[in-house]
Amino acid sequence: MHRIQLTYSLGPENAAAGDLQHPLLHLLEAIHRSGSISAAAREVHLSYRHVWGELKRWEQELGQPLVLWAKGQRAQLAPFGEKLLWAERRARARLAPQVEALRSELERAFAVAFDADAGVLTVYASHDAALPKLREMAASQHNLHLDIQFTGSVDALAALNEGRCLMAGFHALVESPLRSPTARVYRPMFKPGMHKLIGFAERAQGLIVAAGNPLGLQTLADLARPGLRFANRPRGTGTRVVLEQLLASQRLVPSALATWERAEPSHEAAAEAVASGSADASFGIEPAARRRGLEFIELAREQYFLATLRSHLEQPEVLKLRALLRSQAWQQVLAALPGYAPARSGEVLSLRQVLPWWSWRKPKG
Domain span at 218: 115-365
For the cut 80, the answer to whether the pLDDT of residue 26 exceeds it is yes
Check whether residue 176 and residue 249 sit in a common domain. yes
Question: Is 318 inside a domain boundary?
Answer: yes
Check whether residue 199 and residue 320 sit in a common domain. yes
Check whether residue 52 and residue 185 sit in a common domain. no
* Predicted TM-score of the model (pTM): 0.80
What is the 8-class DSSP label of residue 130? S
Question: Is 314 inside a domain boundary?
Answer: yes
Check whether residue 232 and residue 347 sit in a common domain. yes
Among 142, 190, 144, smallest CA distance to 349 is for 190
Contact 281, 207 (CB under 8 A): yes
Among 331, 292, 283, smallest CA distance to 32 is for 292
Give me the count of residues in the chain.
Answer: 365
SS3 at position 298 = strand
Question: Is 255 inside a domain boundary?
Answer: yes
Picking from 69-73, 254-258, 268-272, 316-320, which range would have the lowest pLDDT averaged per residue?
69-73
Q: Round to whole Å and give the CA distance between 183 and 287.
A: 27
Mean pLDDT highest for which of 40-44, 61-65, 129-133, 140-144? 129-133
CATH number at residue 54: 1.10.10.10
* Domain tally, the chain: 2
Check whether residue 174 and residue 56 sit in a common domain. no
- Mean pLDDT, all residues of the chain: 89
Distances (CA, A) of 26 to 41, 88, 244, 258: 11, 10, 37, 35
CATH number at residue 129: 3.40.190.290
Check whether residue 69 and residue 151 sit in a common domain. no
* Strands 195-209 and 340-342, sheet pairing: antiparallel
Phi first, then psi: give them for residue 289, nearest 5 degrees.
-75, -45
State pLDDT tens for residues 90-148: 777 777 777 776 776 777 677 667 666 678 899 999 999 999 999 989 988 888 999 99
